[in-house]
Amino acid sequence: MTRTALLAAGLTVMLGIPASAGPKADPGTPSANSNGSAEAKRRDMEQRSQKAEKDQQARNQLFDAKVKRATGSVCSGC
């Protein structure tokens, strides 16, 4: 019985306290960091995309070299 009372009291207290007690920004105005972080995310995505593209090209070249080596020993230009 006391556990239930403590649980109810704890939930009441926790639900009554806001998650962030910091100052609230006006929802209509974007913060200064939101544009910077969006730009940083875009640059990071571009860098990841370029790296993935280079990695894929390297894998393709390696595969092509292996295929050429394997088929070159079997067939000599048929």
* Segment 6-20, tens digit of pLDDT: 666 666 666 665 555
Contact 31, 25 (CB under 8 A): yes
Q: What is the pLDDT of residue 53?
A: 98
Percent of the chain with pLDDT over 70: 50
Mean pLDDT of 61-66: 94
Give the whole-angstrom CA distance, residue 50 versus residue 61: 17
What are the tokens at 47?
Answer: 């860098």
pTM of the predicted protein model: 0.46
12 against 26, higher pLDDT: 12
Nearest 10 degrees: Cα torsion 10, 12, 16, 18: 50
What is residue 58's predicted lDDT score, i.e. its pLDDT? Answer: 97
Tally of residues, the chain: 78
Nearest to 11 by CA among 20, 3, 23: 3
